Amino acid sequence: MATTTTMCLVLLYGDEKAWATLDDEQRARLDAQHRDFAGALASAGHEQLGGGQLTFTADAVSVRRSGDGPALPDGLRHLGQRHDVVEGPYAETTEQLGGYYLVRTGDVRGLAELVASRLGEGAEIRPLVGGAS
Amino acid sequence: MRFVVLRYGTAPALGGGDDLAAEELAGADAATTVVWVDGRAHVLQGPAARDAGPVTAVRVLDAPHLDAVLGSLDAMPGATYEIRPCALVGGRP
């Protein structure tokens, strides 16, 4: 019987204020941790399809329907009639999305265990719609 | 420059012809979460609690500037989007 695989997005969350204070040595250790994780993915039978590291939320721009949510801050500008464009993240949160991996796996639980054992960051693993094969 | 577009809420399928990736996520109840408590990782079923609500789709694309990304979103009303540039760091995802 063929093994069922699922494509998953691994969303990595953490406190970007803490990330911002890392010195060069700590940053290098974190990079090595991710290289190690990428190698461990393949060794454990998971397939990494992509991934990326996001810049801090200060660089974010958010788009929402006109009239949604609280009053918009200064700096708002309009894009057509349907959206408001605002500098900053969608919502202020205690943890921020800092990066992601796109992984094809036959073992979501095993993937989660690998994330837990190799990366010192909180994560949410979400299957993709139509990602099972 | 590479951008990631995070979608919150429901809307037409995210993506365009030149996207590097455009993925619709399954419902938040299908999530598995890794949380750290007192230096130990715990694997839990279900989404992490986020004030912003769950991300429902992710799009990755290369664009010359932010306005090009915003222009592509003008045809996708009905949700809230957060656009973040990607950092290019060796060894990171």
pLDDT tens-digit series, residues B27-45: 888 888 888 878 788 788 8
Write out pLDDT tens, residues A84-109. Answer: 788 888 877 888 889 999 999 999 99
Contact A57, A89 (CB under 8 A): yes
Q: What per-residue confidence (pLDDT) applies to A94?
A: 81
- What 8-state DSSP symbol labels residue B63? -
Which is it for strands B80-87 and A61-65: parallel, antiparallel or unpaired? antiparallel
Q: b/e string for A27-66 if b means 16 or more Cβ within 10 A?
A: eeebeebbeebbeebeeeebebeebbbbbbbeebbbbbee
Contact A62, B80 (CB under 8 A): yes
Closest CA to A89 of A10, A31, A13: A13
Query: What is the rounded average pLDDT of the residues A76-81?
Result: 49
Structure-token pair, residue A121: 């960051």
Mutate: best of B3, B33, B37, B61, partner A, most A CBs <10 A: B33
ipTM above 0.90, yes or no: no
Query: What is the rounded average pLDDT of the residues A38-47?
Result: 94
Q: Could you tell me if A127 lies within 8 Å of chain B, comparing CB atoms?
A: yes
Torsional sign, CA B68, A63, A19, A119: negative
Mutate: best of B4, B84, B88, partner A, most A CBs <10 A: B84
Q: Could you tell me if A9 lies within 8 Å of chain B, comparing CB atoms?
A: yes
- Residue bearing tokens 């796109």: A102
**Cβ neighbours of residue B73 under 8 Å, at least 6 residues apart?**
A63, A79, A83, B5, B81, B83
> With a threshold of 0.90, does the pTM exceed it?
no
B chain contacts of residue A131, beta-carbon cutoff 8 Å: 23, 26
In the predicted structure, residue A66 carries a pLDDT above the cut 70 = no
In the predicted structure, residue B90 carries a pLDDT above the cut 60 = no
A chain contacts of residue B41, beta-carbon cutoff 8 Å: 116-117
> How far is A48 from A38, CA to CA, in rounded Å?
7
